[in-house]
Amino acid sequence: MNDLREVDLERGMPRAEQAIRQMLFELRRSPGLGCSAVKLIHGYGSSGAGGRIRVEARRRLNRMKEGGEIWGYIPGESFSIFDSDTLAAFQRCPTLRRDRDLERHNNGVTFVLL
């Protein structure tokens, strides 16, 4: 069983609103698939200043965390063995230790802990 799913929110180049709907759908169904974490691929925006999908996804994840709907999330740029949230996430989802973006400071992804 894989406790980590990967969801590409950029596939098909959707508008931010569509990508957020897809994100919410995938986050709701993931626990039923035996997942404790979801890796969201949202890109960082072609300008490098932060794409709209990334900004909107993290804004929504913040509200979800505050509301107790998710355990938390880790921005890809913080996904490091030197980050306390990442170390705590390893306890919830051991597969995260093997993710290719560990230590890559990739701001085009976000890890969501369910």
Map out the domains of the chain as residue ranges.
4-113
Give the relative orientation of helices 52-66 and 16-29 as an angle to the nearest 10 degrees: 40
What is the CATH topology of the domain spanning 4-113? Answer: Ribosomal Protein S8; Chain: A, domain 1 (3.30.1370)
Task: Please give the pLDDT value at position 20.
Answer: 97
Distance in angstroms (rounded) separating the CA atoms of residues 90 and 98:
10
Q: Is the pLDDT of residue 1 over 80?
A: no
- pLDDT tens for 23-37 read 999 999 999 999 999
The single-letter code of the amino acid at 49 is A
Digit-coded pLDDT (tens) for 39-88: 999 998 765 545 899 999 999 999 999 999 999 999 999 999 999 999 99
The band of 18, judged by pLDDT with boundaries at 50, 70 and 90, is very high
Position 47 scores a pLDDT of 55
How much is the pTM? 0.94
